[in-house]
Structure 1
């Protein structure tokens, strides 16, 4: 059996990936992992079967086991993993480690009808959290509506004075349980523009519209949507029906976003403030993670992150 190679000292804790498959290598790649951990990879056929000695010598604190390859592990290796967990080494399944590092739910497809996460249909809010979330939304929107009305009025006046067309923009979006509703915003584009996703340096956006978008003032009329019960302060962003239909064709799990009310801001928005249609899968992973991990402290964190996005003048 080859002896473990001694690696130079690293301040980051070492994490051992055991018999990781190609799927999980793709899943766990990225800067977030290497920013937090010093990753090491262990293949039983290559490195031998004395896993306990390897872990002790290198001071490894965490082991990630790919459940798609666990059936290839011998009883001896499995017993060693259990022994190490008894001795304080943290043992994660690949999907759970992905959630820990990336703070989103993995939607990596393994086979035609199998995804890495097997309990995805359990992602939803319980009755108590639904009531708590609605109470928080209504209270927060009620407190914000008066100061927001001043900004909305100023934005509306500037919009009308600077370009032809109405001050407000309304559009049909898909909300909770797939029900359609009308969303309201301050108009930021020229009237009669062609539909489609916005792009960098989009010529359809008016000069005043750029300011309204960067400061998020254009989103403030959605406080009225919150009071009406169409939306939440925090949640997945609502999409147009045609975009939803297309997204569901590409990934059936997209519809799980509609188990809660859509939000003015959300976990996907603060993590991907400049997302493009190509980022739809990542956005969905963040949205489902939010639903799964929902609590009021998480909402306050997202509000704070949203404020930081506004202050740094990022837009999406």
Structure 2
């Protein structure tokens, strides 16, 4: 029991951070040449420890935030997050006057990666396993709403086994006095009680809005300061990728021209930020003068080169122009056709709220669902968009960025 408690304590970030800083900043010095250690903790060695500590802290913080999002296999993001912060921390540090110990950083990096994988194993071992639900109101079919969780149905106020949380419709008139007393008692025992809508949102990554009172309006308004920072990041990323992007542009243009000698680029009016119309740029992936309707599986309008461009998302790269113009972002809800958006306004409650942020080249809906065509798929896509708008943050954008790389390599959701 004592060992299990020690392992369980590693779930908490302060404990993880304390152990991580010890392992990844101080322990590596034990493996260095003794002549290096004889120099003592001078300015250079202090600088090395500081940089290693920053990398350890930022990586741990980011991974802990990523684990909070639904459907995430956090072990898949350990190496990408490590590389991301390694580049952001060490590249600027390389420009300073201080010297580096290559051996120290290699040992520190190995220690950090090993520690992160151990933490991930422990976190999965002590992840929430079972949720009990009281079948009243809109919580009557929780297993159908969220099939990914392990559910225990409560027919009586006798819990009978250990659970990690209780879910119900706290607004239901069917929640009797006995159930309310049961909920109060379980809360005093330290068992968290969740409203069905909150648990559905946290486990599915979707926000459903049928009535205005179901969501606080403020939670759907993104932070203006972050949106400014987000644009700066977009600009810097596009600038850093510019040499590679120009090469891809050149080869793509040649391939399109060789196939049918048609136009390289294709422009289309779509709905942008705050409902304004924007002209979106793309590489042409369909036959010229093809009818503008929604894409379907095995669409015969798509050219041979176009199939490759769509599968790898290369056809979206010209939208970098829209990003630089401030009309779009790298990450955000998909910009819809104007006619399609007008129809959805009549079918989906509060559809226009998705225009409260700039549309993106990739987004939460794209990496979770792919390309949506039917009415039901589109409604799910809107729920993913609402989740993104409600939880928009640097961590969520970073997560979508990593998952976009995966979808690009696998062709997930392309048509």
Same topology, TM > 0.5:
yes
Relative to total residues, which structure has the larger strand share, 1 or 2? 1
Confirm whether residue 89 of structure 1 aligns to residue 191 of structure 2. Answer: yes
Selected match of 2:169 from 66, 87, 99: 66
How far residue 251 of structure 1 moved from its aligned partner, in angstroms, is 1.7
Normalized per residue, the structure richer in helix is: 2
* Aligned pair partner of 1:101 in 184, 194, 203: 203
Q: Which has the higher contact order (CA 8 A, sep 6+)?
A: 1
1:253-295 C-alpha deviation (Å, 9 max, x unpaired):
1100110100000000001114223211101110110111111
Distance 1:162 1:300, change over 3 A: same
Quote the Cα distance in structure 2 between the aligned partners of 1:229 and 1:28: 43
Would you say 1:303 and 2:401 are equivalent positions? yes
Within 1, Cα distance between the matches of 2:128 and 2:220? 32
> How many Å separate the matches in 2 of 1:211 and 1:153?
16
| Alpha carbons 1:176, 1:262 under 8 Å: kept | yes
TM-score, length-scaled by structure 1: 0.85
Residue of structure 1 equivalent to 2:55: none
Answer yes or no: is the 8 Å Cα contact 2:131–2:149 preserved in 1.
no
Query: 1:121, CA displacement in angstroms?
Result: 6.2
* 1:24-81 C-alpha deviation (Å, 9 max, x unpaired): 4567525xx44432x12224xxx3xxx2xx22x2112211111342x33233432321
CA shift, 1:186, in A, is: 0.4
Contact between 1:129 and 1:295, CA under 8 Å: does it hold in 2? yes
> Equivalent residue for 2:360?
263
Matches within 5 A, 1:1-316: 13-21=129-137, 23-25=138-140, 29=144, 33-37=146-150, 39-43=151-155, 47=156, 51=157, 54-55=158-159, 57-69=160-172, 71-107=173-209, 109=210, 114=211, 117-119=214-216, 122-278=219-375, 279-314=377-412, 315-316=414-415
Larger radius of gyration: 2
- Cα distance change of structure 1 residues 156 and 27 upon mapping to structure 2, 3 Å threshold: farther
- Whether the 8 Å contact between 2:208 and 2:386 is mirrored in structure 1 is no
Q: CA deviation at 1:87?
A: 1.5
Q: CA RMSD in A?
A: 2.0
Q: Secondary structure at the match of 1:233?
A: strand
CA contact (8 A) 1:188 1:212 kept: yes
**Pair 1:179–1:274, CA change in 2 (3 A):** closer
The count of corresponding residues between Structure 1 and Structure 2 is 287
Q: Which contiguous aligned blocks of 4+ residues in structure 1 show a shift greater than 3 angstroms?
A: 23-28, 33-36
Q: Give the stretch that moved more between structures: 299-308 or 79-88.
A: 79-88
Unpaired segments ≥5 residues, structure 2: 1-126
Structure 1: 5+ residue stretches without partners: 1-10
Quote the residue 2:13 is aligned against: none
Partner Cα separation in structure 2 for residue 89 and residue 27 of structure 1 = 18
